[in-house]
């Protein structure tokens, strides 16, 4: 099962290496990982999507909590979070195909971010599932390159994964 884990860490050198090392060492599989600063410059957030059983998830949480630089660990449930990835896709596109591709792009709430004689680059941010679907729609045209970020996620409603609670 996939789990989305939001981890607040001290913004120190080497923290990412410690977190990534822990996953590797204990045999926890990382699907994606995204790091960024939070509203407090001393704190970073690492969002990890990991695969594993309930037992594995419990161990991941406990082991993460043992790292001294980890301030908070919270697993977000799929129903109660908004999750996003950003994807950049470069597809082959003859001038004749442009209207078609542009309309797929618009329907999927994407944006054309670059265009050349025989290709377009589209950017979309959405949840992983929708991005996979979008990829499939474009596949017939010939995908030249895909660049995807890791997932970031936030809880729905007023609650926040922050120092205050």
Partner 1 sequence: MASERMTVARAMTECLKAEGIKDIFGYPGAAICPFYDEIYKSNIRHILVRHEVNAGHAASGYARVTGKPAVCVATSGPGALNLITAIATAYMDSVPMVIITGQVNSDQIGRDVFQEADITGSAEPFVKHSYLLKKPEDTADVFKKAFYIAGTGRRGPVLIDVPFDVQKAEIDFEYPETVDIRSYRPSTKGNGFQIKRAINALKDAKKPLICAGGGLFTGNAVELMRKFAEVNDIPVVSTMMGLGAMQSDSPLYYGMIGMHGAKAANIAVNSCDTLFLLGARVGDRAMSAMENRKDFTVVHIDIDPAEIGKNIEANVPIVGDITLVLGQLLEQVDGFEERLSHTAWREELEKYRTETQPAPAGDGYVNPKWFIRTLNKYLPEHSVVVADVGQNQIWTAANISLKDGRFLTSGGMGTMGYSVPAAIGAKTACPSVEVVAVCGDGSFQMEFNEMATAVQHGINIKIIVIRNCFLGMVREVQERTYDNRLIGVSLDGSPDFCKIAEAYGIEHMLVNSEQSAVEGIGKLISSDKPYLLEVVVPEHEKTIL
- Binding residues for partner 1, rule: CB under 8 A, are 9-10, 13-14, 17-18, 21, 25, 58-59, 62-63, 65-66, 68-71, 163
Nearest to 157 by CA among 48, 58, 77: 77
H-helix or E-strand containing 99?
A: helix 98-107
User: What distance in Å separates the CA atoms of residue 63 and residue 50, rounded to the nearest whole number?
Assistant: 14
- Rounded to a whole number of angstroms, the minimum distance from the CB of residue 127 to partner 1 is 30
The residue among 11 and 127 lying less far from partner 1, judged by its C-beta, is: 11
CB of residue 20 vs partner 1: minimum separation in angstroms?
11
Name the minimum Å distance from CB 71 to partner 1. 4
The nearer residue to partner 1, 10 or 145, going by C-beta atoms, is 10
Three-state DSSP at 128 gives helix
| Residue whose CB is less far from partner 1, 51 or 58 | 58
- Number of Cβ within a 10 Å radius of residue 128: 19
């Amino acid at each position: 099962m996939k789990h989305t884990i939001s981890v607040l860490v001290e913004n120190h050198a080497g923290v990412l290496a410690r977190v990534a090392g822990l996953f590797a060492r204990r045999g926890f599989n990382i699907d994606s990982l995204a790091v960024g600063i939070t509203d407090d410059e001393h704190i970073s957030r690492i969002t990890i999507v990991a695969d594993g059983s309930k037992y594995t998830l419990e161990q991941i949480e406990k082991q993460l909590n043992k790292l001294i630089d980890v301030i908070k660990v919270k697993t977000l449930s799929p129903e109660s979070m908004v999750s996003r990835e950003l994807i950049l896709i470069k597809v082959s596109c003859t001038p004749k195909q442009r209207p078609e591709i542009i309309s797929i792009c618009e329907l999927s709430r994407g944006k054309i971010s670059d265009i050349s004689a025989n290709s377009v680059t589209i950017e979309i941010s959405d949840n992983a599932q929708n991005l996979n679907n979008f990829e499939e729609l474009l596949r017939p045209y010939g995908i030249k390159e895909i660049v995807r970020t890791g997932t970031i996620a936030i809880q729905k409603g007023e609650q926040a994964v922050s120092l205050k609670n």
